[in-house]
């Protein structure tokens, strides 16, 4: 695809709408993480891969000379994703805040350097008519994008369709707005350009459908658990209260969290450690001295009556 020589007003307007939302849409998620001090259900791997996706996608957008808002999007989103990833290290993995923050800064600098190197390397090649390298970079961005949206589905499977830890305002804005991963307005911005970018369009479409899947999964879970949640509310409880009661009493529950094989084994080991092993006392007879053997004399009931030393 040839580089964009002119950017229509409509493309810039739609891209700006997406970028404006892109600058603030992760803030509700970051705020939720900070307020609750929890990131359960929010995969750190997803945030890291989204940040990593910004390197090839930013390179792809800048080298192809897309409208300025779409060129800026990957840089903003990369930064916000690394902030969220650092929060998962602090709240879920219990890292010290300064360690997580320092690691995030180092990785951000590394990503920025890698993107700059790719742009300086690939732009002359692309301008000389060789489109293959930048096309490969676009494919890599799409692959990382798709992989990055898979970890939430692992959390969904574990909780039988329930979505926790992901802020719905963030997810809604992510679908409508534009990011380095894409969504509705970014797709429309590409349509409004003089030349439609097929690879970029496919990337945005993948994002739209995978994010719709997250919404649909939780809606189905809400429908399936409506009677349980209604009964719990009548008793002044929440679904999590009901779930905890079943877990504490070791009762089967249709909507209990699934556990991986390794996690089941770890839980079994912890239960055995809590219960303890039965004390089995073994009688050890010691010789009276080094030159004598001791014979234990027992009665019919098995009780020890005495000992007789034999030379």
DSSP string across 259-298: --HHHHHHHHHHHHHHH------------SSTT-EEEEEE
Q: Which tens digit of pLDDT belongs to each residue from 158-170?
A: 999 999 999 998 8
Of 175-189, 242-256, 265-279, least confident by mean pLDDT is 175-189
Q: Higher-confidence residue: 192 or 276?
A: 276
- 137-141 long-range contacts (CB < 8 A, ≥24 apart) are 137/56, 137/59, 137/60, 137/63, 138/56, 138/57, 138/60, 138/199, 138/200, 138/203, 139/199, 140/56, 141/53, 141/56, 141/57, 141/60, 141/180, 141/203
Distances (CA, A) of 276 to 233, 262, 265, 270: 38, 21, 16, 10
Cα gap 142→130, rounded to integer Å: 20
Q: Which tens digit of pLDDT belongs to each residue from 262-272?
A: 556 666 666 66
Is residue 289's pLDDT more than 70? no
Q: What is the pTM of this model?
A: 0.72
Is residue 260's pLDDT more than 80? no
Is residue 299's pLDDT more than 80? no
Would you say 28 and 165 are in contact if contact means Cβ atoms under 8 Å apart? no
């Amino acid at each position: 695809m040839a580089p964009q020589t002119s950017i229509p007003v409509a493309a810039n307007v739609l891209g700006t709408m997406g970028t404006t939302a892109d600058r603030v849409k992760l803030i509700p998620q970051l705020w939720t993480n900070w307020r609750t001090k929890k990131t359960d259900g929010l995969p750190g791997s997803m945030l890291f891969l989204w940040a990593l996706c910004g390197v090839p996608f930013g390179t792809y957008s800048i080298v192809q000379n897309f409208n300025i808002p779409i060129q800026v999007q990957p840089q903003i989103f990369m930064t916000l994703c690394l902030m969220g990833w650092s929060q998962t290290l602090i709240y879920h993995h219990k890292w010290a805040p300064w360690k997580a923050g320092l690691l995030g800064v180092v990785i951000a600098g590394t990503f920025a350097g890698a993107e700059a190197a790719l742009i300086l390397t690939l732009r002359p090649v692309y301008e000389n008519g060789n489109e293959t390298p930048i096309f490969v970079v676009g494919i890599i961005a799409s692959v990382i994008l798709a992989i990055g949206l898979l970890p939430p589905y692992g959390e969904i499977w574990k909780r039988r369709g329930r979505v926790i830890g992901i802020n719905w305002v963030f997810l809604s804005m992510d679908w409508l707005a534009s990011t380095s991963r894409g969504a509705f307005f970014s797709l429309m911005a590409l349509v409004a350009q003089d030349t439609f970018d097929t690879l970029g369009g496919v990337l945005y479409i993948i994002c739209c459908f995978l994010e719709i899947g997250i919404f649909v999964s939780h809606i189905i879970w809400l429908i399936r658990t409506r009677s349980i949640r209604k009964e719990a509310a009548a008793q002044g409880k929440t679904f999590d209260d009901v779930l905890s009661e079943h877990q504490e009493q070791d009762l089967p529950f249709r909507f209990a969290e699934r556990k991986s094989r390794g996690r089941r084994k770890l839980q079994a080991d912890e239960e055995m450690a809590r219960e303890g092993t039965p004390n089995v006392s073994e009688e050890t007879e010691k010789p009276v001295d080094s030159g004598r053997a001791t014979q234990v004399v027992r009665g019919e009931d098995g009780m020890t009556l005495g000992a007789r030393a034999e030379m």
